[in-house]
Structure 1
């Protein structure tokens, strides 16, 4: 009887260990029974400082999660350093996060060039480069870089969407393209040209670039207007987007104007540029716009407004970056929850590549995040929209990319 009792106790204990609540704990760097260290770099200063709002929103979201008990009982220790969107600074601060702070993962760092500058380092160290804050196709290669996974729709796909729209709706198009002279800009341009195909050779009448360190893009706008283009594809970051919208209006130039979705913020771009100057601009989105009355009474928007009032009371609610950060932070929490008590870098990466029909709050209806070991582009859908009055007016169906 004594032997049988001992066997039953041992069997019962083994059964408990096999259940999620009693699963054996496995920890990577930065993880304890009470804490998970997550790092990021963000441009709190420099020409890309508008993007600094993203990490601030993420930090606020994690603070809220921690006050509610954290993720599976562990608090998120979010460590964020300023890299001014300068790749050498990104390298320095990322090494600090990995080698000094011993973070479990680097999350949603902003900028194509910044992420590319540390990709080989992070993959060599087998540190997850999670849900990167850039949509460059060059960044995402599950075979070559198995520790880097994206989040937002890729730039190439968005460019292709605009190219297809032009072919279908603007048969007399004479296209001018303004883009940033880096992988971010090149990805968009390649997408546009891929969609235009052979016709692109005759449709594109002006193509010019700018450097992130330039003071203005005035000379580029003047050059494109002089080409007699009647379509402008504007592939710029927020500072230069606002400048170009103003300059186009000042010159009395009235092209059909397409604007990259990373620069659609009412607070950071459209209002500073003057809403009257941006009427009719076409872009695309996958997130709800906090300034759009259609979402005012939506439960998810009400929840976001309450979150902002409590955790970011001085932030500009019209700034789209606050929605972006809020949504990306939900994705990280989902990945950590799916990882359970196996918080090794390997398992966290596996969880990031196992998102299934995940819809964070404030994602547009019909859009979900899915990832797999062969799909490191979780969000592959967009909906087109046009600036009308003081809001973005969505039109057409949700479009899925073929990336």
Structure 2
């Protein structure tokens, strides 16, 4: 009898403790953790990524993840986030979807990362969406402007970062329509969602019938001479390139080598393939061919030494990234790091996979971007617009001009955006 009574008291006590634990559970700063804490310890948060450190897309892009890591090292030196240091595991996928699949599975199943952060590439990352979804792994700030990342009902853990390619196509298309209304416009793009989404935006503004020639490329074939010859044959006067940096250089360099040397269209190139330092380095002595190239961006210009974000990122690059050549890829990587730290701050001390997803969906982040971030429960895209840029006559700067623009990926109007960019906090670490 006494044993039964004691057993009953023990069960009752256990239920009381369980009820108390339940009452103070959940995510955020209060109570005990409730959710998936894979990749999180009392002292560390482990992120992983896939990046083309080698291969056809490595030019420029290989600098992104190390720049993000440098920003994390800077934050770690100041105590980390809620007492945890951030570790960033970077794996080379050579921009090959099969390799991406392998390394992402390693990161998730073997390394047990908390989240995949800024995985790069439309064709590469598309192939791991279902795997990350099935394992409920946060898939944060994908390094691509594909609209595939903005499907919160289908992929609730995936978030974009770049302005999507259709929005960009509409903004650049609007500029083309206004500036060169009577010239023949053509398109050269990557044979995947990158190219297709860019073309969709361009056609929304210009009309499909106004694009007189359309050519594409695959990253496994660096011979683009046949496609470029077709563009020349069509009499293209303005060519929109939805290209990664290496193929921007191939496109422009190949055009210059055509017989007669007369094919000299106005180049309008997607932001992801238009960084002047990256493409200029690839072209070498042919760098002057980039004179007058029009592009766009949503982050501060590396050529504006007075910009407080550029000053911050340069200082971090010098101290934590071995002072590698400072270009748009470095700015991009550090902007990703800054946003990630903001999300972690907001997710609270009791960090879980669920809490970081909820933190991003809350939206309202402010940072170095010259256009707004759009995160909400119903919108998992990233930046919502672009500011136009042009390579100067001496081909040593890529200057912004005019105000930024915002729009949607549908039929919405392209509008000027005039809100000022906030200065970084004194310690360079974003808060929630």
Residue 68 of structure 2 is matched in structure 1 by 58
Report whether the alignment pairs 1:102 with 2:106: no
Report whether the alignment pairs 1:379 with 2:383: yes
- Whether the aligned pair in 2 keeps the contact of 1:264 and 1:320 (CA below 8 Å) is no
Flag the 1:276–1:25 CA change in 2: closer, same or farther, 3 A: same
Residue 398 of structure 1 is matched in structure 2 by 404
Q: 1:43 aligns with which of 52, 65, 69?
A: 52
Query: The residue matched to 2:160 in structure 1 has which SS?
Result: coil
Displacement after TM superposition at 1:88 (Å): 1.0
Query: The residue matched to 1:350 in structure 2 has which SS?
Result: helix
Flag the 1:137–1:20 CA change in 2: closer, same or farther, 3 A: closer
Counterparts of 1:247 and 1:92, CA distance in 2? 34
Residue 216 of structure 1 is matched in structure 2 by 223
Counterparts of 2:168 and 2:28, CA distance in 1? 41
Residue 236 of structure 1 is matched in structure 2 by 243
Displacement after TM superposition at 1:271 (Å): 4.2
- Whether the aligned pair in 2 keeps the contact of 1:355 and 1:378 (CA below 8 Å) is no
Displacement after TM superposition at 1:375 (Å): 1.3
Residue 33 of structure 1 is matched in structure 2 by 42
Residue 163 of structure 2 is matched in structure 1 by 153
Report whether the alignment pairs 1:288 with 2:300: yes
Report whether the alignment pairs 1:85 with 2:95: yes
1:340-355 to structure 2, matched below 5 A, reads: 340-355=348-363
More helix by share: 1
Query: The residue matched to 1:384 in structure 2 has which SS?
Result: strand
Counterparts of 2:216 and 2:374, CA distance in 1? 34
Q: Please, what TM-score do these two structures have when normalized by structure 1?
A: 0.89
Counterparts of 1:207 and 1:20, CA distance in 2? 50
Counterparts of 1:161 and 1:52, CA distance in 2? 27
Flag the 1:298–1:175 CA change in 2: closer, same or farther, 3 A: closer
1:78-227 to structure 2, matched below 5 A, reads: 78-197=88-207, 200-201=208-209, 203-227=210-234
Flag the 1:20–1:217 CA change in 2: closer, same or farther, 3 A: closer
Structure 2 residues without counterparts, runs of 5 or longer: 1-19, 410-432
Structure 1 residues without counterparts, runs of 5 or longer: 1-12
CA deviation vs aligned residue, 1:122-146 (integer Å, no higher than 9, x gap): 1111111111111101232111111
CA deviation vs aligned residue, 1:116-175 (integer Å, no higher than 9, x gap): 100011111111111111110123211111111111100011111222222223221212
Flag the 1:21–1:339 CA change in 2: closer, same or farther, 3 A: closer
Residue 342 of structure 2 is matched in structure 1 by 334
Flag the 1:342–1:220 CA change in 2: closer, same or farther, 3 A: same
Counterparts of 1:257 and 1:175, CA distance in 2? 10
Displacement after TM superposition at 1:97 (Å): 0.9
- Deviates most, 110-119 or 339-348: 339-348
Query: The residue matched to 2:263 in structure 1 has which SS?
Result: coil
Counterparts of 2:94 and 2:254, CA distance in 1? 26
Counterparts of 1:29 and 1:215, CA distance in 2? 41
Q: 1:278 aligns with which of 290, 297, 302?
A: 290
Displacement after TM superposition at 1:357 (Å): 4.1
Query: The residue matched to 2:45 in structure 1 has which SS?
Result: strand
- Whether the aligned pair in 2 keeps the contact of 1:110 and 1:134 (CA below 8 Å) is yes
Flag the 1:299–1:164 CA change in 2: closer, same or farther, 3 A: closer
- Deviates most, 273-282 or 128-137: 273-282
Report whether the alignment pairs 1:246 with 2:253: yes
Displacement after TM superposition at 1:247 (Å): 2.7
Flag the 1:222–1:20 CA change in 2: closer, same or farther, 3 A: closer
